[in-house]
């Protein structure tokens, strides 16, 4: 059966996840418009797509209106690591809130189906474990992470109000920790931090005692989840958790990175940052039910691919 080609807008399309999504959509035969202001995205992430007549890129900030004709919108635009979103917290909130308003307005005008890349950060420092979509969260509204947490929560509010008030076709995914090639080496996320430190022989920084947990989903699995959610019937709006339910402590992650890189790096311990969640693990029952989706890539396999990417990148940088 031939695939019907669609006009697809991906905001944040030159970022870590956006670039892989653009690649998948182009490979599937769709016409893709990648929009990015390059705050954290990089043109090099999509440079290999520029020769395709199905791909175009536009430098644009989603906090300003955009007038294009599209069938589907994937709204991924927003810095997603604490280092980047805390650098300009006001702009981070604007990107989540104004960006959502502008993209929802575009979807309303064009009749496009629209996907929101939300986050597990809407759960804050959870008191329920693992986290289901029905959990309302334990979020500090005035802390240093609030620009991201509350910005994404407000974006979800807007999506569901547009759905109820204007009957928009919406899809909301709550993304848990994701890793893989094209992560920014200075994004401050734990996987990239550990790998870069290990490859350079620097001490590996553990915050607190290293017993806080995260669940790591490889980028290919996550992008597959995006596409499956977008393709669900109209009544499936989400929010739906997308992430790997297998939980690791920071010490376990660090040991895996040390083993796979063969580094001589030692562990160094620093105070735990403010509002850093102690546990983060998704309940993916809904993803299994509605998307027939669950992660396939094991942590050590994904880390092997990611380490190879950073080895090559550091050669070019260093």
Q: What is the CATH number of the domain that holds 123?
A: 3.40.50.720
Q: So what's the pLDDT on residue 1?
A: 46
What angle (nearest 5°) sits at the alpha carbon of residue 290, between those of residues 132 and 5? 125
| Contact (Cβ atoms closer than 8 angstroms) between residue 101 and residue 204 | no
Residue 302 counted as domain residue: no
User: From first to last of its 318 residues, what are the pLDDT tens digits of the chain?
Assistant: 456 899 999 999 999 999 999 999 999 999 999 999 999 899 999 999 999 999 999 999 999 999 999 999 999 999 876 777 788 899 999 999 999 999 999 999 999 999 999 999 999 988 998 999 999 999 999 999 999 999 999 999 999 999 999 999 999 999 999 999 999 888 888 999 999 999 999 999 999 899 988 899 999 999 999 999 999 999 999 999 999 999 999 999 999 999 999 999 999 999 887 767 778 889 999 999 999 999 999 999 999 999 999 999 998 876
pLDDT number for residue 188: 83
Q: What total of structural domains would you count in the chain? A: 1
Domain range for residue 22? 7-178+218-244+281-296
Which of 123, 148, 179, 218 is flagged as catalytic? 148
pLDDT of residue 284: 98
For residues 48-86, one letter each, b for 16 or more C-beta atoms within 10 angstroms of the residue's C-beta and e for the rest, the string is ebeeeebbebeebbbbeebeeebbbbbbbbbbbbbebbb
Please report whether residue 265 resides in a domain: no
**Strand boundaries in 46-187, DSSP class E:** 55-59, 72-75, 113-119, 170-175, 178-179
- Number of Cβ atoms within 10 Å of the Cβ of 5: 12
CB atoms within 10 A of CB 266: 10
Does 212 map to a domain? no
Q: Is 218 in the active site?
A: no
pLDDT at 277: 73
Report yes or no on 186 lying in a domain: no
Question: 111: part of which helix (H) or strand (E)?
Answer: none
* CA–CA distance, 19 with 182 (Å, rounded to integer): 8
What are the strands, taking DSSP E only, across the chain? Answer: 7-11, 31-36, 55-59, 72-75, 113-119, 170-175, 178-179, 204-207, 213-215, 217-218, 240-242, 247-249, 267-270
């Amino acid at each position: 059966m031939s695939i019907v080609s669609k006009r697809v807008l991906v905001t944040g399309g030159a970022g870590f996840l956006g670039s892989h999504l653009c690649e998948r959509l182009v490979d599937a035969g769709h016409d893709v418009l990648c929009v990015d202001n390059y705050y954290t995205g990089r043109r090099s992430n999509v440079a290999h797509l520029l020769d395709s007549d199905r791909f175009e890129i536009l430098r644009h900030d989603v906090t300003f209106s955009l007038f294009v004709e599209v069938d589907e919108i994937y709204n991924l635009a927003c810095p997603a690591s604490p280092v980047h979103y805390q650098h300009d917290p006001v702009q981070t909130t604007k990107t989540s809130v104004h960006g959502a308003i502008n993209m929802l307005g575009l979807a309303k005008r064009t009749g496009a189906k629209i996907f929101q890349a939300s986050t597990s950060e809407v759960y804050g420092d959870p008191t329920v474990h693992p986290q289901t979509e029905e959990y309302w969260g334990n979020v500090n509204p005035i802390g240093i992470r609030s620009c991201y947490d509350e910005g994404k929560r407000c974006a979800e509010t807007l999506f569901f109000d547009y759905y109820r008030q204007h009957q928009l076709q919406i899809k909301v995914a709550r993304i848990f920790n994701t890793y893989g090639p094209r992560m920014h080496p200075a994004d401050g996320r734990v996987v990239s931090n550990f790998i870069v430190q290990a490859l350079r022989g620097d001490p590996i920084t553990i915050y607190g005692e290293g017993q806080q947990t995260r669940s790591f989903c490889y980028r290919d699995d996550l992008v597959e989840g995006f596409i499956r959610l977008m393709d669900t019937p109209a009544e499936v709006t989400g929010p739906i958790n997308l992430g790997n339910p297998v939980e690791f402590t920071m010490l376990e992650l660090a040991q895996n990175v040390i083993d796979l890189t063969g580094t001589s790096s030692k562990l160094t311990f620093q105070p735990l940052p403010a509002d850093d969640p102690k546990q983060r693990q998704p309940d993916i029952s809904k993803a299994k039910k509605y998307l027939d989706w669950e992660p396939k890539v094991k942590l050590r396999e994904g880390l092997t691919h990611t380490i190879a990417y950073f080895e090559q990148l550091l050669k070019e940088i260093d």
